Amino acid sequence: MSGAAGRRGRPRGFDAESALEAAMLLFGERGYRATSIDELVARTGASRASLYVAFGDKRALFLKALDLYAAQFEARVAAAMAEEPDARAVLVRLLTASAERLASTASAGCLRCNSTLELMGSPEAFDEALHAANARYLRAMMRIVERGVEEGLIHSARAEGLPIFLTATVNGMVTLARNGCDRSDLIGVVHCALSIVGEGSTGR
């Protein structure tokens, strides 16, 4: 597509970042397959031409939305790591926020988890992107655990398994929320997870 054609398809005032954020939330609510282009147009407030020019087709838009979702989580982790006094406080902040968000009636759920369940191994061949998104989440958990080891809050012998455990905890909360568990149920899961993380600390 020529530059002139691209400019014609993308009217003045089109905000690609806002449109991508809106698409990300819609994919989280509806899932990839159930989300239509017409719904994306309605949610983003953009024209169909604008979306195609800015992002490509529906698949390309979804992949960008999934990348944005992963990047936003990494940014939340970075902020918590910078602002909280220790690794436990970081985990309290992040896990509680996840529980609160999932318990909210306005929540779109977890795009990473829901898309993994919907699309991993499917003919659409999203596996590479989903593996990458899940790996980014796991690496973020690893950074928190490594900090906990350095601070003496987590025993080094348990560090290898905890990032996977924490990832599984959040993934499980997503499923519980979809099954109707309320805020108190999810906060209970958070408390149990935090108690397990703190077992066997080095006591430094």
Identify whether 87 is part of a domain.
yes
**CA dist., res. 92 & res. 71, Å (int):** 20
Identify whether 204 is part of a domain.
no
**CA dist., res. 117 & res. 120, Å (int):** 6
> What pLDDT is recorded for position 106?
67
What's the rounded mean pLDDT across residues 171-194?
A: 94
Q: Is the pTM of this model over 0.85?
A: yes
Identify whether 9 is part of a domain.
yes
**pLDDT averaged over every residue in the chain:** 90
**CA dist., res. 96 & res. 115, Å (int):** 22
Amino acid at 123: P
Identify whether 203 is part of a domain.
no
Identify whether 35 is part of a domain.
yes
Closest CA to 137 of 109, 168, 108: 168
Amino acid at 102: L
Give me the DSSP letters along the chain: --HHHHHHHS-TT--HHHHHHHHHHHHHHH-TTT--HHHHHHHH---HHHHHHHH-SHHHHHHHHHHHHHHHHHHHHHHHHHHSSSHHHHHHHHHHHHHHHHHSTT----HHHHHHHHHTTSTT--HHHHHHHHHHHHHHHHHHHHHHHHTTSS-GGGTTTHHHHHHHHHHHHHHHHHTT--HHHHHHHHHHHHHHHHTT----
Cα–Cα distance list, 122 to 25, 164, 188 (Å): 22, 24, 34
Identify whether 183 is part of a domain.
yes
> What pLDDT is recorded for position 124?
82
> What pLDDT is recorded for position 202?
57
CATH code where residue 177 lies: 1.10.357.10
What's the rounded mean pLDDT across residues 153-157?
A: 90
Identify whether 72 is part of a domain.
yes
User: Could you tell me the residue range of the domain that residue 177 belongs to?
Assistant: 3-198
pLDDT digits (tens, 9 = 90+) for 82-93: 999 999 999 999
Cα-trace Rg, the chain: 19
The number of domains in the chain is 1
pLDDT digits (tens, 9 = 90+) for 13-42: 678 999 999 999 999 999 999 999 999 999
Identify whether 24 is part of a domain.
yes
